[in-house]
Amino acid sequence: MNIIADLHTHTLFSDHAYNTVTEMINQAGKIGLKAIAITDHGPAMPDSGHEWHFFNSQIAKKVDDVLVMFGAEVNVMDISGTLDIPERLLKNLDWNIASVHRDIIPKLSYEDTTELWMNIAKNPYIDMIGHCEQVEHFFDYEKVIPIFVKNNKVVEINANSMFVRPTGQENMVHLIEVCKKNKCKIAVNSDAHSIYTLARVKDTLKLVEDMEYPKELIVNAKYENLINELEIHNKKILDMIED
């Protein structure tokens, strides 16, 4: 199994990343990806810029043979599901990830994290749930994953977590099991912060494959899966590509 798109990547806009938008897109083409999502951190992250970045996007939607999705990794600010990018901006972006970061919410109880994700599931502008296996924010998978399915949320299986959040590996296996049981759509992403880690998902993808996850439920395993997901989320990028 391979991935045809990396749906979680960062550029120099996030100061702890190392490459420009152009470099990331060009690298995607070089390694054979069909699509890339540019998803820099929302402004609440300590090293991120102003929200204007997400308003003033002048990025081509197709570069050579690569579909370019411009989105955001939005920070969840509290258990009520408040986000650091307003809806007026989110509704025009191509791919929105909701993530909890320790820099903003250091730790939450099992109950509070469960409530947080239940609230995020209701948000129509969130497309994917980012790296939610982390131990500081463990939640009731059995309760929340069916709600994600009902609300068409893709659950990310984050390859970078194996390096920066290694304590969550047991949770990741559990998360995949519950997602599979509930026929939840997932995406295996690199969370790349440079061209050198773009699409670096080999070990994580093998984990998913070993657990016999259905390919039709992996959004970035086939180009048709991705396009279908963009249609479900009513993304304007599809009209732009046709034009």
The string of DSSP letters for 29-54 reads: HHTT-SEEEE-PBPTTSTT---THHH
pLDDT, mean of each 10-residue run, the chain (243 residues): 96 92 97 98 91 82 94 98 96 97 95 98 98 96 98 98 86 98 98 98 97 98 97 93 69
Burial 154-187 (b: 16+ CB within 10 A, else e): bbbbbbbbbeebeebeebbeebbebbbebebbbb
Global model pTM greater than 0.75 = yes
Contact 38, 73 (CB under 8 A): no
What pLDDT, on the 0 to 100 scale, is given for residue 241?
79
Contact 51, 86 (CB under 8 A): yes
What pLDDT, on the 0 to 100 scale, is given for residue 240?
82
Contact 102, 117 (CB under 8 A): no
What pLDDT, on the 0 to 100 scale, is given for residue 57?
66
